[in-house]
Structure 1
Amino acid sequence: MGHTFTAACVQLTSARDIPDNLDEAVRLIRDAAERGADFVQTPEHTDIVERDGGRLLSLTSDEEGCEPLRRFAALARELRIWLHVGSLAIRLDGEMLANRGFLLSPDGEVTARYDKIHLSDLALSAGDEETESRHVRPGNRVVACDVPWGVLGMTIGHDLRFPEAYRTLAKSGATILTCPASTALAAGEPHWHALVRARAIENGAFMIAAAQAGGAPGGPRTFGHSLIVGPWGEILAEAGEEPGVILAAIDVEAVEVARRRIPSLRQDRPFDQPPEIHRGPARLAS
């Protein structure tokens, strides 16, 4: 396929009903493919947004029995697209799940899978706490995969706040970085754009970040604003706050240009840890 392709983000408002969520995701993925997308990404929690860990366990299965994954694999095969399912809830045992993303080839095969490393244990305001670690077991390694246009690095959601993961992927050859997310409104408004653009700029890579938007009745409010960002930090496409599809033309040769102009990935230098700290004199009493 060469060095150019069309990428799409599907923005969803997933709720507590898996069949309804899947129907909406399939509809928008089809729309993206009809509009010329070669690569389509859905957000974190594509299948279900559910804070009740017990209910979540009761509704999900292991990867082998995962009906949402089977349905998305068949869709990728039908549409002949690369489909990045941002994440699904995958049961690991009777008590814990994985928040797992999947990259599906146009043959419907799982080419790569990634378990979210940095879990969303947050206290954004009084009475608005999220403790993902209660029912999700974190992954322990970042994942990159060859695609026809280069190397794609996979992350999810709260990983966005840990730049070392993206630098590791970029230094391993990733030119396209991804972060499907479900970002709380209180964190998304001040931080989402800055963090997505920063990960693109500091690594000289494309960032593709499909997001959950709005919120189902009784569920958490999410920020939306799915983004596709170029390696110089330029926003190529942005969604609003409603479900829908955004598309952008990607020329991966722009990565080589950006990394040649600012070759920071080759300029890391070792330094001693912990830092040398000089304490100043005690403040004089007024």
Structure 2
Amino acid sequence: MTMPDGPVRVALFQMTTGIDPAANAAAIVDAVGRAAHGGAAILFTPEMAGLLDRDRKRATPHIVAEEANPVLAAVRAAAAQHGIWVAIGSLAVQRGGEAITGEAASGEGRWANRSFLIDATGAIVARYDKIHMFDVDLATGESWRESAAYRPGDSVVTAETPIGRLGLAVCYDVRFPALFEQLGRRQCDVIAIPAAFTVPTGKAHWHLMQRARAVEASAFVIATAQAGRHEDGRETYGHSLVIDPWGEVLLDMGEEPGLGFATLDPARIAEVRAQLPSLINKQPIPAG
């Protein structure tokens, strides 16, 4: 699959995901239908679209292997029904069918924060496990230890789609340039960076980091976000973005949940790469 011949429409579903997977699945399925009706070739969802619950004891019964995940199954069926691709920002899944035991366990027992790319027949064509774990203590008093329950991935993932070559990343990954250097070297046309950004970090860095990633990869960035106050008590920043290869913001969805659309023109990629051929000019940096 190559870049489309002309402009292509994409849809972003900005969510306020809750603690009930069935309700979250129903919301995504509805968005799939509306995105297809709106002429989108592909729908993007945020990170943790199927379940967002910081109470890991309460969340554990809902985190199952991907083949048993009801949200994934529902979205695959909806994609096939409506003939549209879906990029699920991520779901929490058991790794290799293993269950969590004890204090969210460690090593092989940890969960994966996994993105899924689903084609218009409902088939899973790519998976990406979030590489960088969000382990931080913010000045606001918020403390997060993603690595206590999730095992990081170790692979860079790209896939051919109706909008060109798509590179996959998730949330905190945006702060680590080495991943995006690899995606740039693979000549990605579009990079998905779904997220559940905190409000303090979002206000400080969200737009800045997403625009930088688009510029350095000379690619479109689609950053679909969680937004608002969630059932588990957290608050997320929102502002789902579509950014062109020059760093211009084509869509900013603000702070409310909903469905947004944007049009990607593949000619813009060629234009920017011709003006500023940074991918070609890149040189290895000597150590020491």
Q: TM-score range by the shorter chain?
A: over 0.9
Question: Do 1:98 and 1:138's aligned partners in 2 also have CA atoms closer than 8 Å?
Answer: yes
Greater CA drift, 226-235 or 25-34: 25-34
TM-score (norm 2): 0.92
Identity across the alignment (%): 37
SS of equivalent to 1:102: strand
Shift of 1:126: 5.1
For 1:175 and 1:126, the matched residues in 2 are separated by 37
For 1:65 and 1:224, the matched residues in 2 are separated by 29
* 1:76-87 equivalences in 2 (<5 Å): 76-87=79-90
For 1:122 and 1:215, the matched residues in 2 are separated by 20
| Deviations 1:75-125, CA, capped at 9 Å, x for gaps | 111111110011011112222110000000001000101000011112113
Which has the higher Rg, Structure 1 or Structure 2? 1
In the alignment, what sits opposite 1:94?
Answer: 99
1:131 aligns with 2:145: yes
Alignment RMSD? 1.3
1:31 aligns with 2:26: no
* 1:101-250 equivalences in 2 (<5 Å): 101-125=115-139, 127-250=141-264
For 2:123 and 2:50, the matched residues in 1 are separated by 19
SS of equivalent to 1:181: coil
Greater CA drift, 123-132 or 245-254: 123-132
For 2:198 and 2:144, the matched residues in 1 are separated by 10
| Deviations 1:169-188, CA, capped at 9 Å, x for gaps | 12112111110110000100
Question: Do 1:15 and 1:215's aligned partners in 2 also have CA atoms closer than 8 Å?
Answer: no
Shift of 1:166: 1.4
**Structure 1: runs of 5+ lacking an equivalent:** 275-286
In the alignment, what sits opposite 1:50?
Answer: 53
For 1:147 and 1:266, the matched residues in 2 are separated by 24
Question: Do 2:32 and 2:79's aligned partners in 1 also have CA atoms closer than 8 Å?
Answer: no
Question: Do 2:41 and 2:163's aligned partners in 1 also have CA atoms closer than 8 Å?
Answer: no
Cα gap change, 1:100/1:88 in structure 2, threshold over 3 Å: closer, same or farther? Answer: same
Cα gap change, 1:52/1:217 in structure 2, threshold over 3 Å: closer, same or farther? Answer: closer
1:2 aligns with 2:16: no
1:70 aligns with 2:107: no
SS of equivalent to 1:125: coil
| Deviations 1:119-152, CA, capped at 9 Å, x for gaps | 1112113531011100001000110001133210
For 2:76 and 2:142, the matched residues in 1 are separated by 35
Shift of 1:54: 3.0
Of 16, 29, 32, the residue aligned with 1:13 is: 16
Question: Do 1:3 and 1:149's aligned partners in 2 also have CA atoms closer than 8 Å?
Answer: no
Paired AA for residue 61 in structure 1 = V
For 2:186 and 2:7, the matched residues in 1 are separated by 21
**Structure 2: runs of 5+ lacking an equivalent:** 101-109
TM-score (norm 1): 0.92
Shift of 1:238: 1.2
In the alignment, what sits opposite 1:282?
Answer: none
